[in-house]
Amino acid sequence: MMDLNAIAEFVDDASRYAKAIPQLSETGKDLTLPQAYEVQRLSVQRRYDRGQRQVGVKMGFTSRAKMIQMGLDEMIWGRLTNVMLVEDGGEIDLKNFVHPRVEPEIAFLLKKPLEGIVSPAEAMLSVEAIAPALEIIDSRYENFKFNLPDVVADNTSTSAYVVGPWVRPDIDFSNLGMVMSFDGRAVQIGSSASVLGHPLRALVGAAKLVGEDGGRLEAGWTIMAGGATAAEALTSGLHVRLEAQNMGSVSFSVT
Binding site for ligand OOG (CB under 6 A): 58, 60-61, 66, 70, 103, 135, 137, 139, 151, 156-157, 226-227
Smaller CB separation from ligand OOG, 111 or 145 = 145
- Least Å distance, CB 170 to ligand OOG, is 25
Q: SS3 of 5, please? A: helix
Nearest to 222 by CA among 20, 17, 53: 53
> Considering CB distances under 5 to 8 angstroms, the limit depending on partner class, which of Mg ion, ligand OOG, none binds residue 229?
none
DSSP structure string for 188-242: EEEEGGGBTTSTHHHHHHHHHHHHHTT--BPTT-EEE---SS--EE--TT-EEEE
Centre a 10 Å sphere on the Cβ of residue 168 and count the other Cβ atoms it contains. Answer: 9
Nearest to 168 by CA among 206, 219, 131: 131
Smaller CB separation from ligand OOG, 135 or 243 = 135
- Least Å distance, CB 70 to ligand OOG, is 5
| Distance (Å, whole) CA 189 – CA 187 | 7
Among 7, 141, 227, 244, binds Mg ion (CB under 5 A): 227
Kindly state whether residue 135 participates in binding Mg ion, applying the rule CB under 5 A: yes
Nearest residue by C-beta to ligand OOG? 60
Kindly state whether residue 164 participates in binding Mg ion, applying the rule CB under 5 A: no
Q: In this structure, what are the phi and psi dihedrals at residue 175, rounded to the nearest 5 degrees?
A: -150, 70
> Considering CB distances under 5 to 8 angstroms, the limit depending on partner class, which of Mg ion, ligand OOG, none binds residue 139?
ligand OOG
Q: Are 108 and 203 spatial neighbours (Cβ–Cβ below 8 Å)? A: yes
- Least Å distance, CB 1 to ligand OOG, is 28
Nearest residue by C-beta to Mg ion? 135
Residues that bind Mg ion (CB under 5 A): 135, 227
